[in-house]
Amino acid sequence: MNLIELQRALRQLRLGGMAAVLETRLHQAQTEAMAPIDLISCLIADELNRRGERLLDRRRKQAQFRDPQRSLDNFDFTFNPKMNRSLVFDLAACTFIHKREDALFLGPGGTGKSHLAQAIGQAAIQQGYRVIYRETHVLLENLADAIVDGARKEFMEALATVPLLIIDDFGMRKLPPTAAEDLLEIVMRRYERASTLLTSNRPVEDWGKLLGDVAAVTAMLDRLLHHGHVLKCGPRSWRTKTASTGGVQ
């Protein structure tokens, strides 16, 4: 086989990572007088690296983060210095996912809850976990669409089994009448089976009034807090700061 034929054969074998770098690696082998086993080792490492990156990219797309650029590296912990940053980094280490524990991020709007939630989601993907991210109203809209399509069972099963489900911005928008029942079912299905991270700008005391079902909220909180970590964000708001200074976060 010549080079072109060999590259074509590698792609047919679904070894695109090898095919992409084959010519470069062959030049390297000639220049450095590489042993055959070293050349093969490099090509296999290239293929594994490419597959790993493609898996991460696929999982990031599947997560559907609202702000995929959010990370702990670009979060300013000094803005609200009383925030429990040790807890943030403990959650980013993802031990809580391994233990099937939950987390609540509470605080006023603009204090970094969504940023941190998505950053932890990104960290989870890097550590090999699948993640689904949804704003609360979008999650319930997706569920309503699944019901219309006759796919409610499959949709709920996907939510129940993903290792980390991030439900963001609870309390930001008016929710449908079935919200309490639907959210409780999601939390119950995931309880002690997978990790849920929920962010809210409303204190938990207001959730019953917000959803119009105190009993459902009590049952939901009972499960979320049983093995749950609570992070209090704030009190200062980034959006208030940037609005007053004319800057952009």
Token output for 55: 């898996």
pLDDT, position 234: 79
Q: Provide block-wise average pLDDT over 10 residues at a time, the chain (249 residues).
A: 92 94 94 94 94 94 96 92 95 98 94 96 97 98 97 97 97 92 97 98 92 95 96 77 47
pLDDT, position 239: 58
Token output for 63: 């997560």
Distant-in-sequence contacts of 16-22, Cβ < 8 A, 24+ apart = 16/47, 16/50, 17/46, 17/47, 17/48, 17/49, 17/50, 17/51, 18/43, 18/44, 18/46, 18/47, 20/46, 20/50, 21/46
The C-alpha atoms of residue 235 and residue 83 are separated, in whole angstroms, by 9
